Amino acid sequence: MSGLINISELYDLGGKVAIVTGGAEGMGKETCRFLASAGATVAVADINLPWAQKTAGEIVAAGGKAHAYQVDLGSEQSVVDLVRSVRADQGRLDILVNVAGLQDREFLEDTSVELWDKLHHVNLRGSFLTIRAAAKVMKTDGNGGRIVNIASMGAVHPIFEGLVAYNASKSGVLGLTRNAAYELAAHGITVNALLPGNVTTEGQARSPGPPIDMEKIKHMTPPLGRTGRTSDIASAILFLVAPASQWMTGQTLVVDGGHLNK
């Protein structure tokens, strides 16, 4: 009989370098904290540089390794510059987590082409740009890699009105994930998507559009009895970027408290 397994090694990110887009707050910030706690050097990438600097500073003060970078996912050059800068500054790139996204809301008949294009530009096109840039570096370095895209439970099962453009963009992220996984597998780069359920964040609260009916939300409590926490998502992301998930790619991991089982 074999001996016991060193479980800590399955979640050890020591020596790894990770980019987390949208890392300044909410799920992105918690993801940065989890990855740094596992030993990774984290590039906190966000359009809001002061907030990214604050998050990176908090991680460093707690004993982790983190650096702030500004990125505009709507700009191809900004994304290319981010990946190049992280690779140049940190010497490698092992992990990319695409958390950043917009959740502006409009009912279907009120949805403008401008809103549709805006959400697809950031949520889908932005994820494509970061994956493309990171994959080039990972393939050149030859060390494999881990890529995780944050989609949404709404990509497979809408739960309230006003998110037609958002959910459509996140459905596109699922197709992007599967195809990127297929092309990059030969290079030891895994690509997976995570579908969060309802997680209340600052960014969600600020998103413009029709107000969310809180009474409806109360009746949408999943079987596990509560809405999600940012730590629920960050811990699942940690699994997807750690050695524990090394034989998993092109998959969609639902973290929703059991909502889709109702």
Q: Residue 188 — left, alpha, or beta (φ > 0 → left; ψ -120 to 50 → alpha)?
A: left
Structure tokens at 256: 């929703």
Given 11, 69, 166, 182, which residue is catalytic?
A: 166
Tell me the two tokens of residue 137: 């570096």
Both structure tokens of 259: 């909502």
Distance, in Å, from the CA atom of 179 to the CA atom of 67, rounded to the nearest integer, reads: 31
Instruction: Say how far apart CA 215 and CA 2 lie, in whole Å.
Output: 54
Report the alpha-carbon distance of residue 52 to residue 20 in Å, rounded.
10
Structure-block tokens of residue 99: 């958390």
Token readout for 49 is 């540089």
- Spatial distance between the Cα atoms of 83 and 101, rounded to a whole number of angstroms: 18
Whether 166 is catalytic is yes
Residues noted as catalytic: 166
